[in-house]
Chain A
Amino acid sequence: MKIFKILGVTLLSMGMAISLSCAKKPAPQQVVKIGALFSVTGPASFLGAPEAKTVQMLVDQINMAGGVKGAKLEAVIKDTKGDPENAISFAKQLIEEEKVFAIIGPSTSGETMKIKNLCEEAKVLLVSCAAAEVIVNPLAKYVFKVPQKDSQAAIKIFETMKKMGISKIGVVSSNTGFGNAGKEQLEKLAPENSITILISEVYDKTATDLTGVLAKLKSKKVQAVVNWSIEPAQAIVAKNMKQLKMGVPLFQSHGFGNIRYVKEAGEAGEGIIFPCGRLLVADLLPADHPQKSVLTKYKTDYEAKYQEDVSTFGGHAYDALMVLVKSMETAGLDKEQVRMALENLKGFAGTGGVFNFSADDHNGLGLDAFEMLTVKDGKFALLEQK
Chain B
Amino acid sequence: MLEQTVQYILSGLTIGSIYAIAAIGYNIIYNATGIINFAQGEFIMVGAMTAITLSAFLPLPLAILFAVIITALLGALIEICCIRWLDRPSVLRMIIITIGLSILIREAALHIWDEKVRSLRFFTGNEVSSVSVFGAHISPQVLWVLGICALIVVLLNVFFKYTLTGRSIRACSSDKMAASLCGINTRNMVTLSFMLSGAIGALAGCVISPITQTQYDCGTHLAIKGFAVAVFGGLGNSMAAVAAGLIVGLLETFSITVMPLAYTDAISIAILLLVLFFRPSGLFGNREAGRLKEF
Report A's interface with B, CB cutoff 8 A.
Answer: 41, 43, 45-46, 49, 175, 201-204, 206, 208-209, 211-213, 215-216, 218-219, 232, 235-236, 238-239, 242-245, 260-261, 264-269
Q: Is the CB of B117 within 8 A of A203?
A: no
Residues A212 and B256 in contact in the complex (CB < 8 Å), given A244-B7, A267-B127: yes
Report chain B residues within 8 Å CB of A244: 7, 130, 137
Residues A264 and B213 in contact in the complex (CB < 8 Å), given A239-B127, A242-B127: yes
Report chain A residues within 8 Å CB of B11: 209, 211-212, 215
Q: How far is the CB of A208 from chain B (nearest CB, A)?
A: 4
Which of B53-61, B171-179, B260-268 lies on the face that meets chain A?
B260-268
Complex CA gap A206/B252 in Å reads 15
| 11 further A-B pairs in the complex, CB-CB below 8 A; given A216-B256, A239-B127, A244-B137 | A46-B115, A204-B262, A208-B18, A209-B14, A211-B11, A211-B15, A212-B11, A212-B256, A244-B7, A264-B213, A267-B127
Query: A-B pairs with the 3 shortest C-beta distances?
Result: A208-B212, A268-B127, A232-B117
Report chain A residues within 8 Å CB of B227: none
Q: How many residues of B contact A (CB 8 A)?
A: 39
Main secondary structure of the interface of B (DSSP, over half): helix
Complex CA gap A46/B212 in Å reads 19
Main secondary structure of the interface of A (DSSP, over half): helix
Q: How far is the CB of A205 from chain B (nearest CB, A)?
A: 10
Question: Which residue of A202, A218, A242 contacts B128 across the interface (Cβ within 8 Å)?
Answer: A242
The reply to whether the CB of B293 lies closer than 8 angstroms to some CB of chain A is no
Q: Is the CB of A215 within 8 A of B4?
A: yes
Complex CA gap A203/B256 in Å reads 11
Report B's interface with A, CB cutoff 8 A.
Answer: 4, 7-8, 10-12, 14-15, 18, 115-119, 126-130, 137-139, 208, 211-213, 215, 217-218, 221-222, 252-253, 256-257, 260-262, 265
Residues A243 and B213 in contact in the complex (CB < 8 Å), given A213-B261, A215-B11, A267-B128: no
Q: Is the CB of A209 within 8 A of B18?
A: yes
CB-nearest residue of chain A to B114: A45
Q: Is the CB of B139 within 8 A of A243?
A: yes
Q: Is the CB of B7 within 8 A of A215?
A: yes
Complex CA gap A219/B117 in Å reads 31
Q: Is the CB of A232 within 8 A of B213?
A: yes
Q: Is the CB of A266 within 8 A of B126?
A: yes
Q: Is the CB of A245 within 8 A of B130?
A: yes
Show 11 residue pairs from A and B whose CB-CB distance is below 8 angstroms, ordered by the A residue.
A202-B260, A209-B18, A211-B139, A212-B12, A212-B256, A215-B4, A219-B4, A236-B213, A243-B129, A261-B117, A267-B128
Q: Is the CB of A211 within 8 A of B10?
A: yes
CB-nearest residue of chain A to B214: A232
Question: Which residue of B4, B14, B127, B128 contacts A211 across the interface (Cβ within 8 Å)?
Answer: B14
Complex CA gap A269/B265 in Å reads 28
Complex CA gap A208/B10 in Å reads 15
Report chain A residues within 8 Å CB of B265: 204
Report chain B residues within 8 Å CB of A268: 127-128
Complex CA gap A242/B129 in Å reads 8
CB-nearest residue of chain A to B129: A243
Q: Is the CB of A208 within 8 A of B211?
A: yes
Q: Is the CB of A265 within 8 A of B260?
A: no
Complex CA gap A218/B256 in Å reads 13
CB-nearest residue of chain A to B3: A219
Question: Which residue of A204, A206, A209, A245 contacts B211 across the interface (Cβ within 8 Å)?
Answer: A209
Q: How far is the CB of A215 from chain B (nearest CB, A)?
A: 5
CB-nearest residue of chain A to B139: A243
Question: Which residue of B18, B118, B129 contacts A264 across the interface (Cβ within 8 Å)?
Answer: B118
Report chain B residues within 8 Å CB of A232: 117, 213, 215
Report chain B residues within 8 Å CB of A236: 212-213
Complex CA gap A245/B7 in Å reads 11
Complex CA gap A384/B41 in Å reads 44
Q: How far is the CB of A213 from chain B (nearest CB, A)?
A: 5
Q: Is the CB of A267 within 8 A of B8?
A: no
Residues A264 and B117 in contact in the complex (CB < 8 Å), given A211-B10, A239-B127: yes
Q: How far is the CB of A11 from chain B (nearest CB, A)?
A: 57
Report chain B residues within 8 Å CB of A49: 115
Report chain A residues within 8 Å CB of B118: 264
Report chain A residues within 8 Å CB of B256: 212-213, 216
CB-nearest residue of chain A to B121: A266
Complex CA gap A175/B116 in Å reads 20
Residues A267 and B126 in contact in the complex (CB < 8 Å), given A45-B115, A201-B260: yes
Complex CA gap A41/B253 in Å reads 34
Report chain B residues within 8 Å CB of A213: 256, 261
Report chain A residues within 8 Å CB of B261: 201-203, 212-213, 216
Complex CA gap A243/B129 in Å reads 6
Complex CA gap A373/B208 in Å reads 31
Complex CA gap A244/B10 in Å reads 10
CB-nearest residue of chain A to B122: A266
Complex CA gap A204/B8 in Å reads 19
Q: How far is the CB of B220 from chain A (nearest CB, A)?
A: 8
Q: Is the CB of A266 within 8 A of B262?
A: no
Question: Which residue of A41, A212, A260, A266 contacts B15 across the interface (Cβ within 8 Å)?
Answer: A212
Q: Is the CB of B262 within 8 A of A201?
A: yes
Report chain A residues within 8 Å CB of B10: 211
Question: Which residue of A208, A212, A239 contacts B253 across the interface (Cβ within 8 Å)?
Answer: A212
Report chain B residues within 8 Å CB of A260: 116-117
Q: Is the CB of B213 within 8 A of A235?
A: yes
Complex CA gap A345/B68 in Å reads 59
Residues A202 and B262 in contact in the complex (CB < 8 Å), given A209-B18, A212-B253: yes
Complex CA gap A57/B279 in Å reads 61
Complex CA gap A206/B7 in Å reads 23
Q: Is the CB of A209 within 8 A of B7?
A: no
Q: Is the CB of A212 within 8 A of B252?
A: yes
Complex CA gap A268/B119 in Å reads 14
Complex CA gap A215/B126 in Å reads 20
Report chain A residues within 8 Å CB of B8: 212, 215
CB-nearest residue of chain B to A270: B128
Complex CA gap A245/B139 in Å reads 11
Report chain B residues within 8 Å CB of A266: 126-127
Complex CA gap A203/B262 in Å reads 6
Complex CA gap A175/B4 in Å reads 26
